[in-house]
Structure 1
């Protein structure tokens, strides 16, 4: 979140037209039941998996009006439901749908085809921010994957901020990334084809990875393109501020749910790619592994506990988390190599006893995708821990990967977590992480949602594509491992620092957003933006956005600091380099260091 959202601290009350929330929920429940009955009636040869009542399965044989009613009912419930408990996933079987989807909070659209063009949504997808006065800086927690979109007016509007990824989609038209000039703040698209133009509008920062574009127009502070065909020319940064990396060094795409012509469900796990550019799915054969759904434990928040889920994991099952909030009194333990954890509908893990929410053992090939970790009221030392401790074990050929993994401390409720994520294992790949100490909502305050660091990286050869870390009390990011690589970083200092004395690192003003430990000899970070908005005490200063040792193998390219609205000061960009960002010079930049 950024800038204009800070001037609207009280969220507007949203009333569903002609419906109260309870009525809307009841209507939606009846529509869901009708959909489940219809699907079962149509599919007599293969039993549809029991995904629970918060997963809608659409079939192209269904009347378009029936499909539209279901989609509209979800949107009416979720448009402004920023911190509510409801979670939904909408699955589209292969075919053509003449519908337009307006997408609200905690809603995921998934095409079930082998390729994006197997599901064709003729009508489009729209995300705007009329619920928040055109300000899209709070349009979080939603996603679209694995389908083709033909916008009815030629342009798909996707005015979002963090935790709203687009993956494996084909946009048969243009895209717009803002809401008619209102701010939007932080987005992500990967493995996607956009036929025509993407207009970023007032979007403040954006990462595009392994995609193919028609063209790109507009920019703000930090637009990064990694492994993108037809990316804009990036030789003249910061005019415009386009950071272009021709190839993606190493990545595997997010696993996804799919269905075959006989009605059998499986999860496809894409293979590791090195030095890649463009989408992964243009060839007829996409490297990877297809896992039948009977190898997964299908968990449901209303009935499952840490004990039942761990029993399934220990038996060798993969894990499919259906939409909901899972209240856990012990950590989920991922101990077996190559385990896939796939969340649907922004599935949320909430520790209730001051416990860790999930631990991943130091083993090959674990994949955690589509999960929101939400801190509980009783403090957790860490929400997600990858690897018990730092070791020399190499996972270079089969790394642990984290896709669309989000963290929240406060906002929905009072939450406390000393650290959100600690990565001890080597060769971990992070692919779109938002690590957020809440700055608005419930349970918010300097002494209320207490933290230290957002993320600590102890492992070596850890790579991040799209790392968003905001508002923590100490270093937002602390990087202790060697050979780390970061492609796109977005961070904000805490807004609610009461005074300078409360936020001192020894004799230094504040804690750098991004801290590379003094002993590190090899590190690379490209396309970074660090912002401040000290709205409690505007005299607060942050000495440096980034602190790092200097040396021949420490590289920072295209680094930006911003004082949002000129409220507060970042004195230096990197160590003691760079002009200060403050009310007379909002933006400061360093090309490379």
Structure 2
């Protein structure tokens, strides 16, 4: 079902930077099935050569594939690259050959830093049969990734590998923490050394492997086995979700953005076996931004006039806060579009209004401390958004990495009923230059603070902040798959204490909270100073409505006498100096 009901949104005239045909700028590369496949391959390879080593570079790209078939093509992508099929369903764009891939770093395929990339709304038919050191007779699509990546609305007509299979025996091909949603895999997902993973609303024929923490919510054909011998957490249906908005093009060459409707207690992909319920937004309702000519004033003017917003690939340096005040607005980032403050202001504030969708954006701290990078709802927000929630998809909050940076909090949620769908909040533990990271160099106290009630997170990744990684003050919150590394660079135990305890728990549920749900939660340590320990990975009030299941701590590496002493509130075994490496509860 397609709906054109725009609610309060009037049809807006084209904006000055939104001509016909649409100008997505030079870093959106648009492919058509009539093009020579060699030319397509050459363009993809040129960008891969630039982006594969470009972890902290400034270039960003998006590949658009118009509906049709693309044969004998291998689309491998690197940093800050996203791939978008423009069909109304994933099967309207089919890439046959190598597929759409993300490989590890040679020579041993390590993918622990394979961040900031994604693919959505297409089908891949991999035919890379019998590659070296892989099982024979398998058509494999390689997707060796870690945090801040996504695969959505994808139909894999073969095997999906989640860690690099070009393995030379040195033990280095780990990957860590990806996200698969609203997708169909015809055969197997082989996770191999992928350490943790979030799957939501998928249908996978077989998932035989797992390392620490593999979470499945609203998925069909889920794996089974007793925890923790089999590291699977299965939630039968997805309580509440609205899928990410996506671009399409019709037979007349007109673009629009489709906004899927809210689903409750759903299972399996939204597009498989039935017509989707969506709202279709014509492209002339969007202000199409370009980093080389737009600034905070032009973006705020477009938002104030009621336009939706497309951020084409680039870095947008902002001297003022962006304000999103109108309900039901879509802000869609392409190519991991990046917003960064230049004067220590918050990057964006979203009003307490219904139906906002934010997606595909890096919120990157600047050199002057910002009190917050992204705020959803103002303090004291009270509106009921249960029938039309604010939703965040594929969002990154980053403090440090490309340069010296500082913030106090990455993300604060004040509104009720907010949905988070694949969010990574990261205080950088490594950087372009070593002098760009350090306890006093790229400080940030907390990754996420939740003050609103009834917030739901699917795939929440929060890492390396100086104090609590996540603070949950709101009632009836839910987290499905939590991955957190506590800070590596604690300078000494006496500088990392609170209430007489060693360290700050990663996930803190405040004492006033009576009801909270958590499923599949992993907290890991790698302390670089001797003797630094964390007493509790998770802290909760003693209330009967606190329901946490399938919890794991891991000692990744570190100095002597370091570790995590308990999993939650003094319960659960210790992980110290690899004895044992993991503990579960």
TM-score by length of 2: 0.92
Q: Deviations over 1:299-323 (max 9, x none)?
A: 0001101100110111110000000
User: Where does residue 447 of structure 2 map in the other structure?
Assistant: 454
Aligned partners of 1:101 and 1:556: how far apart in 2?
40
Aligned partners of 1:404 and 1:256: how far apart in 2?
13
- CA distance 1:519–1:284, change in 2 (3 Å): closer
Q: CA RMSD in A?
A: 1.1
Aligned partners of 1:387 and 1:172: how far apart in 2?
41
Match of 2:162 among 160, 177, 191: 177
Aligned partners of 1:58 and 1:119: how far apart in 2?
11
Residues 467 and 490 in structure 1, CA contact (< 8 A), matched pair in contact too: yes
Aligned partners of 2:545 and 2:490: how far apart in 1?
34
**CA shift for structure 1 position 411:** 0.5
Q: For 1:117-266, list aligned pairs within 5 A.
A: 117-123=91-97, 124-131=99-106, 133-153=108-128, 154-180=139-165, 182-234=173-225, 236-266=226-256
User: Where does residue 552 of structure 2 map in the other structure?
Assistant: 560
User: Where does residue 421 of structure 2 map in the other structure?
Assistant: 431
User: Where does residue 470 of structure 2 map in the other structure?
Assistant: 477
**CA shift for structure 1 position 566:** 6.1
Aligned partners of 1:132 and 1:54: how far apart in 2?
30
User: Where does residue 45 of structure 2 map in the other structure?
Assistant: 72
* 238-247 or 280-289, which deviates more: 280-289
Match of 2:541 among 539, 549, 556: 549
**CA shift for structure 1 position 48:** 2.8
- CA distance 1:262–1:284, change in 2 (3 Å): farther
User: Where does residue 421 of structure 1 map in the other structure?
Assistant: 411
Match of 2:486 among 493, 497, 516: 493
Q: Deviations over 1:373-401 (max 9, x none)?
A: 00000000000000011333110000000
Aligned partners of 2:443 and 2:330: how far apart in 1?
31
Does residue 572 in structure 1 map to residue 563 in structure 2? no
Residues 525 and 557 in structure 2, CA contact (< 8 A), matched pair in contact too: no
Aligned-partner SS, 1:147:
strand
User: Where does residue 26 of structure 1 map in the other structure?
Assistant: none
Aligned partners of 1:579 and 1:67: how far apart in 2?
53
Does residue 350 in structure 1 map to residue 340 in structure 2? yes
Aligned partners of 2:456 and 2:229: how far apart in 1?
27
Aligned partners of 1:564 and 1:492: how far apart in 2?
9
By percentage of residues, which structure has more helix? 1
Aligned partners of 1:255 and 1:348: how far apart in 2?
18
Aligned partners of 1:458 and 1:76: how far apart in 2?
44
**CA shift for structure 1 position 164:** 1.0
Q: Deviations over 1:426-460 (max 9, x none)?
A: 00000000000000014100110011110000000
User: Where does residue 75 of structure 2 map in the other structure?
Assistant: 101
Q: Deviations over 1:152-171 (max 9, x none)?
A: 22011111100110000000
Match of 1:391 among 374, 381, 394: 381
User: Where does residue 24 of structure 2 map in the other structure?
Assistant: 51
Does residue 538 in structure 1 map to residue 530 in structure 2? yes
Query: Structure 2: which 5+ residue stretches go unaligned?
Result: 1-18, 129-138, 168-172
Query: Structure 1: which 5+ residue stretches go unaligned?
Result: 1-45
Aligned residue pairs total 543
**CA shift for structure 1 position 97:** 0.7
**CA shift for structure 1 position 133:** 4.2
Residues 566 and 585 in structure 1, CA contact (< 8 A), matched pair in contact too: no
Residues 418 and 454 in structure 2, CA contact (< 8 A), matched pair in contact too: yes
Q: Deviations over 1:8-30 (max 9, x none)?
A: xxxxxxxxxxxxxxxxxxxxxxx
Aligned-partner SS, 1:168:
strand
Q: Deviations over 1:80-117 (max 9, x none)?
A: 10000000000000001121111100000000000000
Match of 1:374 among 350, 364, 376: 364
Q: Deviations over 1:232-274 (max 9, x none)?
A: 014x111101000010000010000110111110000000000
User: Where does residue 33 of structure 2 map in the other structure?
Assistant: 60
**CA shift for structure 1 position 131:** 4.4
User: Where does residue 89 of structure 1 map in the other structure?
Assistant: 62
User: Where does residue 32 of structure 1 map in the other structure?
Assistant: none
User: Where does residue 12 of structure 1 map in the other structure?
Assistant: none
Aligned partners of 1:132 and 1:531: how far apart in 2?
26
Higher relative contact order (CA 8 A, sep 6+): 2
Q: Deviations over 1:393-418 (max 9, x none)?
A: 11000000000011110011111010
Aligned partners of 1:421 and 1:529: how far apart in 2?
20
**CA shift for structure 1 position 283:** 3.7
Aligned-partner SS, 1:143:
strand
